[in-house]
Amino acid sequence: MNVNYTNIWPVLIAKVDDLNINRLVMVEMPTLGCRVKIEVDGPAGLTSHEGVVLPGASADHITLKLINGYNISYPLSMVQAVEDISAPVASVVSTSEVKQSGDLPKITIIHTGGTIASKVDYATGAVVARFEPEEILASIPELMDIAHIDSVKLGNMWSDDIRPQHWNAMATACQEAFDSGSVGVVITHGTDTLHVSAAALSFAFSGLGGKPAGRIVFTGSQRSSDRASSDAYWAAHGPEVSGNSDSTVTVMHASSDDGLCAVNSGVGVRKMHSTRRDAFHPVNASTIGFVKLENEISHSHTIPASNKEVSSPQLFDTSIKIAQFIAGPHLHSDLINAAQSAGYAAIIIHGTGLGHLPIENPMGDAPENDLLRDTIGNCSIPIIIANQCIHGPVDLNVYSKGRLQQELGILGHGSTSTPEALLAKVHWALSNQSNLGEVLAKNLCGENAQSLMS
């Protein structure tokens, strides 16, 4: 047995068989923060694991963080051997020791919420937040080999609380970062509305056919920040931005493991699960690329890049309000009237199937459907259909109901956008006094690929 006896305490373990003590094994609890290899005699037989020692999940248990990011715990009574295979993880790195290289590409980390850079102090179990570049690098020294880091703190918000004024702040901070020499930015953002903000910034920079001066990466807190930083690597070393589908990207887990992160278009991705690590998936689009744990990039983006580099993003009019409703048994005309009366600039209805609404009354027993149809036909503000099904197009030419909706003036036929990208697009178009019908029919920055309508 190879055991580390430095800074440890003994635990006496008795292995019992048929109420008789067969043997006594002296196993020592390793130091918190050490990387160890343990041999365990458990339900699966004799197995071995390697990882960093964390505070035990409960009394008389050993807990390890494995290389894949998951934790395992075993009762000490199952542990047959413990081998210390590395020096303890340093819990504190002095900021005075941080020296950034001027030869590396500069990126800016823009913090909106969550912990911009945190690392577990394995000696105490505490998580320490870092905001300044020196503090970020002290917490995650691996970044010093990836990029020269700058940082901006916009706030510390739950993503549910983010509004269009915060989109504007992010877009402005991105431009300021590019103007200062950054080749890319990483926006840390809560995951629940991360894809909405990513879509909004895509239109801010590329709605008029241009492209941002560098890479804009949105990332959330589903991956531990003391793992390899694939988001920073893509921002610093990713492919040139084309302005079509990649003006903003999300870098999040590709699976439940830490080993691979997927790079998806900011206008073609959606959070599809409330808790899974691989919650983000492309919608009516393909994944742009991947970043492996070892910071290896693979990408398939071959769209010709725009030659027009944006120097001032188109911001959103924060006075504009857009109402959103869900088509179904409880969509009534009073909702449409309320939105008009309250000064909303447009209405988006998430339609069923190909984009349909309850506006017909073939049995003569649903007068509310007739009233909804008449109210929509007389509505003074634009009504746009989004796809409640998420995947697939809005196609109002297939059934007679869809053609009736077009006759009533409803917009959205032919859209393949995610509901969130459509919301950002409508707001952007109204903010810039664009013709909404014309804009919705276009594919401005990868949000409305027409391959599903051909």
Do 287 and 396 lie in a common domain? no
Residues 202 and 108 in one domain: yes
What is the pLDDT confidence band of residue 250, given thresholds at 50, 70 and 90? very high
77 vs 28: which has the higher pLDDT:
77
Shared-domain flag, residues 213 and 99: yes
Exactly one of 63, 95, 172, 192 is catalytic; name it.
192
DSSP, collapsed to helix, strand or coil, labels residue 93 as coil
In a domain, 308, yes or no: no
On whether the CB atoms of residues 353 and 393 are closer than 8 A, the answer is no
Domain final position from 84, 111, 144: 84
Question: Could you tell me which residue, 231 or 404, shows the higher pLDDT?
Answer: 404
Establish if 135 belongs to a structural domain. Answer: yes
Same domain for 252 and 115, yes or no, is yes
Of 33, 55, 84, the last residue of a domain is 84
Q: Report d(CA 127, CA 337) in Å as an integer.
A: 50
Task: Note if 192 is an active site residue.
Answer: yes
Q: What is the pTM of this model?
A: 0.79
**Beta strands in 91-237, from DSSP E residues, in sequence order:** 106-111, 118-121, 126-129, 148-153, 184-188, 215-219
From 108, 191, 248, 418, the catalytic residue: 191
| 302 is annotated as an active-site residue | no
- The residue segments making up the domain with residue 69 are 9-84
Alpha-carbon distance 433 to 429, whole Å?
Answer: 6
Looking at the structure, tell me whether residues 173 and 249 fall in a common domain.
yes
Q: Please, which residues have CB within 8 angstroms of residue 140's CB and are 6 or more apart in sequence? A: 117, 119, 225, 226, 229
Residue 213 and residue 309 in contact, taking contact as beta carbons nearer than 8 Å: yes
CATH number of the domain to which 266 belongs: 3.40.50.1170
Q: How many domains does the chain have?
A: 3
| Residues 287 and 174 grouped into a single domain | yes
Q: Which of 47, 63, 95, 115 is catalytic?
A: 115
Give a yes or no: residue 310 inside a domain.
Answer: no
User: Is the same domain home to 236 and 341?
Assistant: no
Residue 304 falls inside a structural domain? no
End-to-end CA distance of the chain: 67
At residue 352, φ and ψ (nearest 5 deg) are -80, 155
Does residue 305 belong to any structural domain of this protein? no
The predicted structure's pLDDT at residue 93: 47
| 4 CB neighbour count, 10 Å cutoff | 18
> Is position 382 within any domain?
yes
Nearest CA-CA partner of 351 in 322, 376, 378, 387: 387
177 & 279 share domain: yes
Position 238 in a domain: yes
pLDDT at 79: 92
Residue 1 within a domain: no
Whether 294 and 373 map to the same domain: the answer is: no
* Percentage of the chain lying above the pLDDT 70 cut: 80
Domain termination residue (choose one: 268, 284, 299): 299
Mark whether 107 and 77 lie in a shared domain.
no
- Map tokens 């190909």 to a residue: 354
Mean pLDDT of 341-350: 98
CATH number at residue 38: 2.30.30.520
Q: Which two tokens stand for residue 118?
A: 């945190």
207 shares its domain with 270: yes
How confident is the model over 118-137, as a mean pLDDT? 57
Distance of CA 344 to the CA centre of its chain: 29
3-state secondary structure 398-435: CCHHHHHHHHCCCECCCCCCCHHHHHHHHHHHHHCCCC
**Are 347 and 423 in a shared domain?**
yes
Higher pLDDT, 115 or 201: 201
Active-site residue among 65, 106, 211, 271? 271
